[in-house]
Structure 1
Amino acid sequence: MARNRYYDGPPSDHFDGTRFFNPGQVSTDRGVSDMLRWKLAGGAVKWPASVPIVPAKPEARVAGLRITMVGHASLLIQVAGRNILTDPVWSERASPFRRIGPKRVTAPGIAFNDLPPIDFVLLSHGHYDHLDVATLQRLHAVHDPLMVMPLGNDAVVRAAVPAARCVTGDWWDRLALGDEIATTVTPAYHWSNRWPSDTRMMLWGGHYLETPAGAIWFVGDTGYGDGRIFGEIRGHLGAPDVALIPIGAYAPRWFMAAQHVDPVEAVRIFCDVGADRALGIHWGTFQLTDEARGAPVEELSAALEVAGVAPERFVAAEAGGFFHFS
């Protein structure tokens, strides 16, 4: 049996002693034949090489709640005087390599040197489009934030940033981040790896932030599956004021459905959890899958209309866009 190099803990309902898994759900594992079937089908729509944006220049601190889209799953959450980054990626590629792999088509929505003081970094899982050690090294050098993540991901972070301040949690663990702010690691239907040999050896999940200015749920990557976890999140933690829900990287469905929601399922999550407002994330920065760059936005609009949800309640966030919430 393979040895888990990242996490050594007791078996649970989602950990078999070596690998994590999504209990009761369709497997996310994909073999070489699946990859070849996908890539040889040639279904990918060509994206533009670059898309211009207007980067934001955030204030140092915000008393209420303001969220700025950096790109993909990277967002700056400014809440109750604290500054929080989710899955920060400022690198040119979402890849273990500098010269190959998905390249960003939009610049970061905030220039790195324009970041306010960063107090916390929330990581959802170990895939390269979410856990970028080059960015974490830069953040540590300038801001020394507390980094919070699901089980096992700290081994990757500490290998790259030995002095990083890391806190880890299992699904449903509530982790205090200071006065009146905490995050609960929420379950997700996804998977994780850095190399083919370490598949599902680090846990994946989301973050449900409790703050004096409201509850913010960063979903992380997830499929919809049987939908059970979304009702459980509402039951355990309450309906969030703002949900940050992925809407992109979903085609083809036969390959992606177990791990990434499409816009119709994103709206279903929004309704299941009872969120007041939502931002659509995880689209338009790196081409990871087959759909056109603008398809998630168009399909989100159609899904909201079918569900009878006002479009201003669930907005696809563009890089550089900033959103105030009362």
Structure 2
Amino acid sequence: MKITFLGHAGLLVEGAGKKIVIDPFLSGNPLAVMKAEELKADVIVLTHGHQDHSSDAAAVALANDCPILAVVELASLIGKSGAKTVGMNTGGTYQVDENIRVKLTPAFHSSSYEIDGVVHYAGQPQGVLLTIGDQTLYHLGDTALFSDIKLIGELHRIDIAAVPIGDHFTMGPDEALIAAKWTGAKHIIPIHFNTFPPIRQSGEQFIARLAEQNQQGHELQPGQSVEI
């Protein structure tokens, strides 16, 4: 499994001959190094509807003729663009092919999606368990710390987790350390920080604190990758 950080909370995950994109936010992202039109995808997965997670999803899906997996209300809204969508809900699993499956998990946040200046309710926010072969990535989505993260870690063998650390809109570094530990993952990618002033955090300090609890952190800059 190869994971490339797209910036903010966006990931490009490659494995089993497929490219899965989670939460593409490139247009309007001051730290992004890739343009939306350069992004290749076989499947797009959205954690929720906020524009810093979904703004490029429809354009990328249309350009690549690939589906967007999202909670059913968001899938319905984004489908108005003409993009192919697959509506799911919390706890549900979608089998992409025999080697790849996507499972949605709870996340504590909010979600809306804007169409022509009108803001619409976009269902419950989600986390994502992406399994490729025998490896699993847990993208926590935008979330506060909540105890079921521990249950998710106990029910699934998670190899790597993408954990928000920015505070203000999500959990901060202290809670993120707890969440990271609860996932049981050996590898942690901090996400959702430093894109905008309210979410400034030290990724270096967070990585050092992860090491104290025997987890390997990967502070990726946009465009950088890690393989597990």
Q: Normalising by structure 1, report the TM-score.
A: 0.64
In the other structure, the counterpart of 1:296 is 202
Change (3 A) 1:201 1:324: closer
Matched, 1:74 2:10: yes
What one-letter code is carried by the residue in structure 1 that aligns with 2:203? V
Letter in 2 for 1:106: L
Q: Give CA deviations for 1:53-98 in whole Å, capped at 9, x if unaligned.
A: xxxxxxxxxxxx1111111011110011110111112212xxxxxx
Q: Within 1, Cα distance between the matches of 2:53 and 2:35?
A: 18
Instruction: Write the mapping of 1:98-247 to structure 2, written as runs, cut at 5 A.
Output: 104-108=29-33, 110-116=34-40, 118-132=41-55, 135-159=56-80, 161-162=81-82, 164-194=83-113, 201-224=122-145, 227-236=146-155, 238-247=156-165
Distance 2:97 2:31 in 1: 34
| Residue 320 (structure 1) aligned with residue 223 (structure 2) | yes
CA RMSD after TM alignment: 2.3
Unaligned runs of 5+ in 2: none
TM-score (structure 2 length as normaliser): 0.89
Deviation at 1:113, TM superposition (A): 4.8
Q: Distance in 2 between matches of 1:206 and 1:171?
A: 9
Counterparts of 1:187 and 1:276, CA distance in 2? 21
Give the C-alpha shift of residue 234 in structure 1. 2.0
Structure with higher Rg: it is 1
Distance 2:74 2:2 in 1: 28
Relative to structure 1, is the Cα distance of residues 202 and 288 closer, same or farther in structure 2, using a 3 angstrom cutoff?
farther
Q: Distance in 1 between matches of 2:106 and 2:176?
A: 15
Q: Which has the higher strand share?
A: 2
Preserved CA contact (<8 Å) 2:113 2:121: no
Percent of paired sites with the same residue? 24
CA distance in 2, matches of 1:121, 1:288: 28
2:180 aligned to which of 259, 270, 285: 270
